[in-house]
Amino acid sequence: MSVEKYLKPEVINQIKRLDLRAQFVVKGFLHGLHASPFQGFSVEFSEHRRYAQGDDLKDIDWQVYAKTDKYYVKKFEAETNITGYLVMDLSSSMGYTYQQTLTKFDYAVCLAAALAYLMVQQLDPVGLVTFNDKIRASLAPRSKRTQLANLLTLLSKAKPDGTTDFKQSMQQLAAMLKTRSLIMVFSDFLVDEQETLDALYRIRHGGHDVILFHVLDEAEVTFPFRGLYKMTDPETGDELKIDGDGFRADYVKQIEAFRENLNRECRKSGIDYVPLDTSMQFDKALLGYLLSRRARG
């Protein structure tokens, strides 16, 4: 429990200040790295050694981790710091929760804050963009310590509202990018799938790296609704009455196909895809970010 308590959404929800939430998540994540046991693995490369506290996270060989579930460092030549953009969907659908302690938006904001904390700690420039039907706010990337406070202030003030125009927003974002960047998108992607992919392809083909953090509510993945149930679209207000028990199997099949297709199509273009729901510990998203960084090292 010593590590998990830092990473559980229901625990994080008890911390009201976003800066402390970010530090709490990162502390738990790093503690998990430090506690990783060294047991019985024949390291493939002589340059590898066990990860030790104080090592740069960017030197961890995540391919070895994927095979062994253990952390090893492989030394590389110094890497150029990459410019990162946290791109946050603040449309109304992100404000949904069924019975979790955090909405999709709360969950995404906490992850974004933790990533910002990690990036600033490693002197990587990081900026922020929020959008719904268009870009609503932006903060240019910086690596100074003061950037974290500015970024967290903007995140804290953001509220989910309005409809989504993912294509338009990504076109605006693409026009803003002047140097090769790492684009980290936090969204439920409950919009036209092909338009989503086309917009992401445009950014990727512009020479940028892209990570999708696909954040759904736990109920949107498991569909726990029973009996007759009235569902309301948070962005359009449209209502639909369904038989939860009769609809569940088809729904779960469709949501699984939706995520699998996004994953497959993203991989074809070298876009990283991290499926999440609001019941998951926060370390999965942080690992997704670090795996992407290591793969591009």
CA distance 206 to 225: 43
Burial class (CB in 10 A: 0-12, 13-18, 19+), 64: buried
**pLDDT 10s digits, 181-217:** 999 999 999 999 999 999 999 999 999 999 999 999 9
Nearest to 24 by CA among 10, 9, 6: 6
Assessment of whether the complete model's pTM goes beyond 0.95? no
Which residues is 211 bridged to in the sheet? 184, 272
Task: Dump pLDDT digits (tens) for 111-163.
Answer: 999 888 888 877 889 999 999 999 999 999 998 889 989 999 999 899 999 99
Structural tokens at position 207: 């020479």
Residue 6 pLDDT:
46
**Chain segment 15-31, per-residue pLDDT in tens:** 667 777 777 677 776 66
pLDDT at 292 over 70: no
Interval 222-228 mean pLDDT: 82
Distance CA 127, CA 106 (A): 19
Residue 264: left (phi > 0), alpha (psi -120 to 50), or beta? alpha
CA distance 12 to 107: 9
Structure tokens at 198: 């086309």
User: Which of 212-221, 245-254, 270-279 has the lowest average pLDDT?
Assistant: 245-254
Q: 42: burial class by Cβ within 10 Å (0-12, 13-18, 19+)?
A: exposed
**Cβ within 8 Å of residue 173, ≥6 positions away:** 85, 87, 129, 131, 135, 183, 203
Q: For the chain, give the percent of residues with pLDDT over 90.
A: 44
Check if the beta carbon of residue 224 is closer than 8 Å to that of residue 98.
Answer: yes
Cα angle 154-157-162, degrees, rounded to a multiple of 5: 110
Residue (of 109, 148, 147) closest to 25 by Cα position = 109
> Where is average pLDDT lowest: 84-93, 185-194, 255-264, 279-288?
279-288
Q: What is the pLDDT of residue 3?
A: 42
Q: How confident is the model at residue 43 (pLDDT cuts 50, 70, 90)?
A: very low
Domains of the chain: 4-74 (no CATH), 83-295 (3.40.50.410)
Residue 4 has pLDDT above 60, yes or no: no
pLDDT in the model for residue 253? 94
3-state secondary structure the chain: CCCHHHCCHHHHCCCCCHHHHHHHHHHHHHHHHHCCCCCCCCCCCCCEEECCCCCCHHHECHHHHHHHCCCEEECCCCCCCCEEEEEEECCHHHHCCCCCCCCHHHHHHHHHHHHHHHHHHCCCCEEEEEECCCEEEEEEEECCHHHHHHHHHHHHHCCCCCCCCHHHHHHHHHHHCCCCEEEEEEECCCCCHHHHHHHHHHHHHCCCEEEEEEEECHHHHHCCCCCEEEEECCCCCCEEEEEHHHHHHHHHHHHHHHHHHHHHHHHHCCCEEEEEECCCCCHHHHHHHHHHHHHCC
